[in-house]
Amino acid sequence: QVHLVESGGALVQPGGSRRLSCTASGFRLADFAVGWFRQAPGKEREGISAISSNGDSTYYSESVKGRFTISRDKNTVYLQMNSLKPEDTGVYYCGADYSDLVAKGVAPEVQEYYYWGQGTQVIVSS
């Protein structure tokens, strides 16, 4: 079965940090660009960060720029989240893009990514 697996979500205090991980099941993650998406309660899923297949190109939405860092090794894509705010609360998903759109300067859009996992929940609250 082909899908992604997200992990690392937790309850975190404001100002805290957390690292999320995204691994692949059934396919080679190194061949794909990967995006991180966040779905806040009552809102649509939005792309917040992405990394190209070779790791040379990255994207950050304005809401996370300067606080979050995306990185990857051969089998895993990470999202390091620092200075967390209550508005970062949500379910975090990773998606895979074979077209490597982020390397072409295209921001991550849900309809362009595939192989979604179940997501991992991050709650930022005191």
What is the DSSP secondary structure assignment for residue 106, as one 8-state letter? P
The pLDDT profile of the chain, 126 residues, written as one tens digit per residue, is 889 999 999 999 999 999 999 999 999 999 999 999 999 999 999 999 999 999 999 999 999 999 999 999 989 999 999 999 999 999 999 999 999 999 888 999 999 998 988 999 999 999
β-sheet with 68-72: strand ranges across = 3-7, 18-25, 76-81, 68-72
Cα distances from 114 to residues 20, 81, 125, in angstroms, run 18, 23, 31
- CB under 8 Å to 23, separation ≥6 — which residues? 4, 5, 7, 29, 75, 76
Q: Using DSSP bridges, classify how beta strands 11-12 and 120-124 pair: parallel, antiparallel or unpaired.
A: parallel
